[in-house]
């Protein structure tokens, strides 16, 4: 008996779930359910759907499913009671290459129109017209004419045929939900010449954009890690690029760097630094020779990277500053006593302390920069050698109207991202809190 | 006298002279619209000589009456004026004399002060490595302050000033970024008036405000219970959830755009604000949940346990104890989410076609065409930026705490 209690005590807390814990568990699931639902719907669902679309031959135009378009009008120009008139429905299949099945037209006969003759597929039942048209071929057109006479009510009404909208029912193949699969999208994007250069540009952009933002952030944090009047103002100012809407800062950069009327180029040319204005966002490369070897400097890409570093240094600045201010100053006093110089203190004391936050920031910023679409799209539209994978998704999917190819590029984006995340998680130091 | 120390002092003066001259000449150009040619070589020389004089006068201890900085300022001024033939900014002294005078004063004061601060403790004799490094760091920090302030402030300055110009003024002299008072208040704010009257920006502003606030409310409604569950309640999968919730934030929006576009088109949600209000909270909930659960964890759970003992239900505990205690965190999460929703571009751009329901981001993009003059574009950018900057400056402390609280410990 005693040994029993001893045993269960040493085995730690009781196994299994008690009633109170079970209640807590269900409460927790209940509280998380809405979050789960919306994330499944808007994030996880589309992620899977993206894979689905990437293996289907979908064009942007296919999103509008084929329907029968109908136009109703009155012919014969009735002027007096008893005049004969024709109620005409013109029908057209909106698609040139998809048939539509089980097409049914239904409409209300306008008040005061007495029907004399009904075309073959139609029937009238208590003022309600139903025409069963069956399957219609691609590009099909037809007219249905109802003959009849009019009464005063019909003549009094203003455009009586507009009183009710004709309704069309029908089924067509929806290319999004059928089971036609193709690898054409992937074949197309991988065989394109520019794909590999897009991939290379993406990596340059991601690596240098991330590095630039981190280095600038580290420098800015060093600047503001001392107390001086106006520090709060500067800290607020340094956060401006990050807080402002991307459209505002991107267009400001475009205006600032404009080759014809931009301030920067005007300054450079008027002050005699350069002879001709530089098209910072439009010129793919500047050629120069270094030690006799002709080389190319990717100008637009560099400007875009500079924008990235400029816009996102505040984030790393904030985190690094917060970490710096939490470092114990005793250590620096001790180092000072031992005669360590300021640079030694930075290199051997501060930097190791900051390594954790720096690596976390690198990871986060690397992934976010890789995912970035807005900045490049607004600055250059992906031209002049700045097209990254994310801009390529837009280019393929919407500019070239090939949704399937866009989704295929998006799959590539996702696969590369997962690879990175896995590598980072495997090899990065474990930082508490993340 | 040690050559190393002399070179260090000379270099310091050179750097400050050149930096101050370039900055002041560019500022002068942008303020007056007259092209100032910075006489960088002359300014560097003047700075160099004055720095040497400063260090020599101070370390030789000769200074009885005249302080070293006054001597160095006088030398700076004299060298600058003689070597540049009395045209330090490459302009005849007659053009904009007031601004040139101010620029000159700023140059002398700036270089002297910079020399005085960086070279305090410097000698022409031997200096230890420690002393030299202190000077390097002061120089680096000084340049850092100047460069960072310029690269951050210049685009915003250009943005505001361009929006206040007229088309002719912009074409005539793109360097003139001064406020032209002569055109009166109406002329100054013409672009803004036209945006609000002809380009429907009042409506975009309302739509943006509505979408952002609704996103904040929805996000909090979803994420508060979720964060509470993750941080306080024990259930299988809790640790996994707490970690993986941030992974959602890593999913690129561009991967979601095509499927959402396809599905929303078929459901008729694409060109609606409802569609946006489904997508925005979904992208902000994970990060809000992550920030909130970090804060909830930091609250003492004894308070909640006391509440439970006294007969409150869990919901009661959350409403009466946890939420009032976490108002700062709620404020910072709300601000952050508001900023994300206000600044969001991609989904607004892809989903909205109808000008009646444009958000500001979408509205400004529609101004980016060759038919719309660029001061309108910049005015649109200012309209989009000002609300979010005002809110940010107002609540900066909350925001900074909230942003960094999640992952920085200790």
Q: Tell me the per-residue pLDDT of A387-410, one tens digit each, with 9 for 90 and over.
A: 999 999 999 999 998 889 999 999
Query: Interface pTM (ipTM) of the complex?
Result: 0.90
Nearest to A38 among B222, B234, B381 (CB): B222
pTM recorded for the entire structure? 0.86
pLDDT, tens only, A190-203 = 888 888 999 999 99
Distance CA A337, CA A353 (A): 20
Residue B65 C-alpha, separation from nearest chain A C-alpha, in angstroms = 30
Domain match, B247 and B169 both: no
Domain match, B160 and B268 both: no
For residue A148, the SS3 value is strand
> What are the distances in angstroms from CA A226 to CA A203, A230, B141, B267?
36, 11, 11, 56
pLDDT, tens only, B321-362 = 888 888 888 988 898 899 999 999 999 999 999 888 999 999
As a whole-number percent, the residues of chain A with pLDDT over 70 amount to: 94
On whether the CB atoms of residues B215 and B281 are closer than 8 A, the answer is yes
On whether the CB atoms of residues B375 and B191 are closer than 8 A, the answer is yes
Instruction: Give kind and range of the element (H or E) at residue B15.
Output: helix B3-32
Question: What residues of B are in contact with residue A326 (Cβ under 8 Å)?
Answer: 408, 410
Residue A110 has pLDDT above 60, yes or no: yes
Distance CA B343, CA B388 (A): 8
pLDDT, tens only, A234-275 = 988 999 999 999 999 999 999 999 888 888 888 888 887 888
Q: Which is nearest to A167 in space by CA: A111, A212, A105?
A: A105
* B183 or B386, which is more confident: B386
pLDDT, tens only, B42-83 = 899 999 999 988 888 887 765 566 788 888 888 888 888 888
A247 to chain B: closest CA residue: B361
Residue B410 lies in a domain: no
Domain termination site, one of B132, B155, B182? B182
pLDDT at B399: 67
Give the residue-averaged pLDDT of B366-387: 90
pLDDT at A4: 46
Dmax (CA) for chain A in angstroms is: 115
Domain match, B168 and B207 both: no
Residue A33 has pLDDT above 50, yes or no: yes
Location of structure tokens 């600032």: A256
Give the residue-averaged pLDDT of B362-387: 90
Distance CA B408, CA A320 (A): 9
Nearest to A53 among B134, B258, B410 (CB): B258
Q: What's the N-to-C CA distance of chain B in angstroms?
A: 48
pLDDT at A413: 93
Could you give all domains of chain A from N- to C-terminal order, each with its CATH number?
66-172 (2.60.40.1170), 186-427 (1.10.3720.10)
Residue A114 C-alpha, separation from nearest chain B C-alpha, in angstroms = 38
Domain match, B172 and B222 both: no
Domain match, B222 and B338 both: yes
pLDDT, tens only, B196-235 = 998 889 999 999 999 999 999 999 999 999 999 988 888 8
Q: What is the CATH number of the domain that holds B300?
A: 1.10.3720.10
Q: In A375-409, which positions are buried (b, 16+ CB within 10 angstroms) versus exposed (e)?
A: bbbbbbebebbbbbbbbbbbbbbbeeebbbbbbbb
CB within 8 Å: B256 and A47: yes
Residue A432 has pLDDT above 50, yes or no: no
Give the residue-averaged pLDDT of A71-84: 81
Both tokens assigned to B170: 């912009």
Sheet holding A128-136, edge to edge: A122-125, A128-136, A100-108, A167-172
Residue A425 has pLDDT above 50, yes or no: yes
pLDDT at A378: 94
Domain match, B152 and B246 both: no
Nearest to B263 among A49, A241, A390 (CB): A49
Number of folded domains in chain B? 2
Q: Which is nearest to A174 in space by CA: A95, A62, A94, A49?
A: A62
User: Among A206-210, A378-382, B368-372, which stretch is predicted with the lowest mean pLDDT?
Assistant: B368-372
Enumerate the β-bridge partners of residue A113.
Answer: A150
Residue B64 lies in a domain: yes
B295's CB contacts (< 8 A; 6+ apart) are B326, B329, B405
pLDDT at B401: 65
Residue A292 has pLDDT above 90, yes or no: no
Residue B92 lies in a domain: yes
Residue B407 has pLDDT above 50, yes or no: no
Domain match, B253 and B135 both: no
- Residue B405: pLDDT band (50, 70, 90) is low
- Residue A129: pLDDT band (50, 70, 90) is confident
For residue A68, the SS3 value is strand
Distance CA A407, CA B170 (A): 43
Q: Which is nearest to A31 in space by CA: B191, B319, B405, B406?
A: B319
- Residue B410: pLDDT band (50, 70, 90) is very low
Distance CA B192, CA B334 (A): 29
Domain match, B116 and B205 both: no
B386 to chain A: closest CA residue: A244
Domain match, B161 and B275 both: no
On whether the CB atoms of residues B395 and A236 are closer than 8 A, the answer is no
On whether the CB atoms of residues A371 and B257 are closer than 8 A, the answer is no
CB within 8 Å: A393 and B254: yes
pLDDT at A1: 43
Residue B163 lies in a domain: yes
pLDDT, tens only, A51-64 = 998 988 888 877 77
Residue B234 C-alpha, separation from nearest chain A C-alpha, in angstroms = 6
Residue B189 lies in a domain: no
Residue B103 C-alpha, separation from nearest chain A C-alpha, in angstroms = 17
Domain match, B275 and B171 both: no
For residue A183, the 8-state DSSP code is S
Nearest to A267 among B26, B230, B342 (CB): B26
Residue B192 lies in a domain: no
Q: How distant is the alpha carbon of residue A106 from its chain centre?
A: 40
Q: Which is nearest to B226 in space by CA: B198, B212, B245?
A: B245
Return the residue in A49, A235, A251, A353 with the most chain B beta carbons within 10 A, the one to mutate for interface testing: A251
pLDDT at B409: 34
Q: What's the N-to-C CA distance of chain A in angstroms?
A: 46
> What are the distances in angstroms from CA A103 to CA A68, A118, B242?
8, 18, 52
Which DSSP string do the residues of B262-294 spell out, in sequence order? HHHHHHT-TTSHHHHHHHHHHHHHHHHHHHHHH
Distance CA A284, CA A380 (A): 11
Which DSSP string do the residues of B369-402 spell out, in sequence order? STTS-HHHHHHHHHHHHHHHHHHHHHTHHHHHHH
Range of the domain at B19: 3-182
pLDDT, tens only, A41-50 = 888 899 999 9
Residue A62 C-alpha, separation from nearest chain B C-alpha, in angstroms = 9
Domain termination site, one of B182, B211, B242? B182
* A183 or A431, which is more confident: A183
A367 to chain B: closest CA residue: B250
B339's CB contacts (< 8 A; 6+ apart) are A243, B388, B391, B392
CB within 8 Å: A342 and B134: yes
On whether the CB atoms of residues A35 and B222 are closer than 8 A, the answer is yes
Residue A15 has pLDDT above 70, yes or no: no
CB within 8 Å: A263 and B175: yes
Residue B36 lies in a domain: yes
Residue B203 lies in a domain: yes
Enumerate the β-bridge partners of residue A92.
Answer: A69, A141
Residue B144 has pLDDT above 80, yes or no: yes
Domain termination site, one of B132, B153, B182? B182
Domain match, B98 and B226 both: no
CB within 8 Å: B235 and A342: no
Q: What is the mean pLDDT of chain B?
A: 86
Instruction: Give kind and range of the element (H or E) at residue A101.
Output: strand A100-108
Domain match, B174 and B227 both: no
B238's CB contacts (< 8 A; 6+ apart) are A28, B230
């Amino acid at each position: 008996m005693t040994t029993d209690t001893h045993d269960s005590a040493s085995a730690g807390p009781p196994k299994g779930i008690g009633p109170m814990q079970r209640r807590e568990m269900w409460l927790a699931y209940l509280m998380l359910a809405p979050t789960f639902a919306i994330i499944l719907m808007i994030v996880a669902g589309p992620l899977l759907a993206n894979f689905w679309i990437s293996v289907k031959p979908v064009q942007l135009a296919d999103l509008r499913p084929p329907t029968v378009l109908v136009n109703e009008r009155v012919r014969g120009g009735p002027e007096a009671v008893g005049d004969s008139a024709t109620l005409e429905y013109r029908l057209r299949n909106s698609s040139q290459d998809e048939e539509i099945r089980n097409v049914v037209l239904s409409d209300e006969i306008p008040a005061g129109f007495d029907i004399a003759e009904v075309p073959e597929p139609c029937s009238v039942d208590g003022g309600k017209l139903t025409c069963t048209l069956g399957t219609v071929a691609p590009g099909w057109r037809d007219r249905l004419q109802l003959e009849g006479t009019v009464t005063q009510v019909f003549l009094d009404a203003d455009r009586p045929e507009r009183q009710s909208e004709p309704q069309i029912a029908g089924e067509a193949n929806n290319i999004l939900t059928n089971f036609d699969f193709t690898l054409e999208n992937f074949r197309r994007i991988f065989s394109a010449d520019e794909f590999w250069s897009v991939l290379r540009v993406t990596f340059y952009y991601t690596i240098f954009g991330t590095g630039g933002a981190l280095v600038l952030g580290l420098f800015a944090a060093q600047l503001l890690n001392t107390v001086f009047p106006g520090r709060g103002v500067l800290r607020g100012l340094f956060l401006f690029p990050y807080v402002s809407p991307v459209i505002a800062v991107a267009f400001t950069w475009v205006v600032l760097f404009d080759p014809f009327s931009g301030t920067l180029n005007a300054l450079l040319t008027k002050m005699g630094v350069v002879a001709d204005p530089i098209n910072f966002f439009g010129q793919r490369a500047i050629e120069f020779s270094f030690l006799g070897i002709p080389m190319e400097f990717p100008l637009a890409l560099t400007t875009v990277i500079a924008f990235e570093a400029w816009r996102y240094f505040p984030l790393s600045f904030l985190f690094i500053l917060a970490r710096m201010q939490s470092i114990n100053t005793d250590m620096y006093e001790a180092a000072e006593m031992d005669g360590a110089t300021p640079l030694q203190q930075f290199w051997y004391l501060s930097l190791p302390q900051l390594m954790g936050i720096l690596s976390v920031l690198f990871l986060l910023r690397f992934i976010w920069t890789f995912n970035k679409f807005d900045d490049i799209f607004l600055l250059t539209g992906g031209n002049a050698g700045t097209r990254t994978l994310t801009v390529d998704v837009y280019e393929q999917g919407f500019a070239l109207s090939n949704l399937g190819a866009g989704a295929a590029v998006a799959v590539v984006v996702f696969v590369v991202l997962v690879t990175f995340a896995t590598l980072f998680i495997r090899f990065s130091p474990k930082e508490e809190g993340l | 006298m040690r050559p190393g120390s002399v070179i260090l002092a000379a270099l310091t003066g050179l750097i400050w002279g050149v930096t101050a001259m370039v900055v002041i000449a560019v500022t002068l150009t942008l303020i007056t619209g007259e092209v100032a040619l910075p006489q960088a070589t002359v300014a560097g020389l003047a700075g160099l000589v004055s720095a040497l004089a400063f260090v020599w006068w101070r370390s030789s201890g000769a200074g009885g009456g005249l302080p070293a900085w006054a001597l160095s300022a006088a030398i700076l001024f004299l060298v600058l004026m003689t070597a540049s033939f009395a045209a330090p900014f490459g302009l005849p002294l007659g053009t904009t004399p007031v601004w040139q005078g101010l620029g000159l004063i700023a140059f002398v004061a700036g270089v002297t002060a910079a020399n005085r601060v960086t070279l305090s403790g410097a000698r022409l004799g031997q200096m230890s490595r420690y002393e030299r490094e202190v000077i390097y760091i002061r120089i680096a920090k000084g340049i850092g302050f100047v460069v960072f302030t310029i690269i951050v402030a210049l685009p915003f300055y250009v943005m505001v000033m361009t929006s206040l110009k007229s088309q002719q003024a912009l074409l005539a002299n793109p360097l003139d970024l001064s406020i032209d008072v002569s055109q009166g208040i109406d002329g100054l704010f013409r672009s803004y008036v036209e945006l609000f009257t002809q380009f429907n920006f009042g409506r975009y502003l309302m739509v943006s405000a509505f979408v952002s606030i609704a996103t904040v409310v929805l996000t909090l409604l979803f994420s508060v219970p979720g964060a509470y569950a993750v941080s306080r309640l024990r259930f299988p999968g809790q640790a996994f959830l707490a970690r993986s919730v941030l992974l959602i934030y890593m999913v690129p929006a561009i991967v979601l755009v095509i499927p959402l576009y396809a599905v929303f088109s078929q459901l008729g949600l694409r060109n609606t604000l409802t569609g946006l209000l489904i997508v925005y909270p979904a992208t902000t909930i994970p990060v809000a949940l992550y920030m909130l659960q970090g804060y909830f964890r930091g609250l003492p759970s004894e308070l909640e346990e006391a509440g439970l003992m006294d007969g409150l239900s869990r919901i009661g505990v959350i409403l009466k104890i946890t939420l009032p205690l976490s108002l700062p965190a709620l404020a910072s999460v709300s601000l952050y989410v508001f900023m994300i929703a206000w600044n969001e571009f991609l989904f607004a751009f892809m989903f909205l076609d109808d000008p009646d329901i444009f958000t500001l981001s979408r509205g400004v993009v529609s101004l980016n065409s060759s038919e719309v003059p660029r001061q309108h574009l910049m005015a649109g950018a200012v309209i989009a930026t000002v609300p979010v900057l005002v809110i940010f400056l107002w609540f900066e402390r909350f925001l900074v705490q909230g942003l960094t609280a999640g992952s920085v410990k200790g």
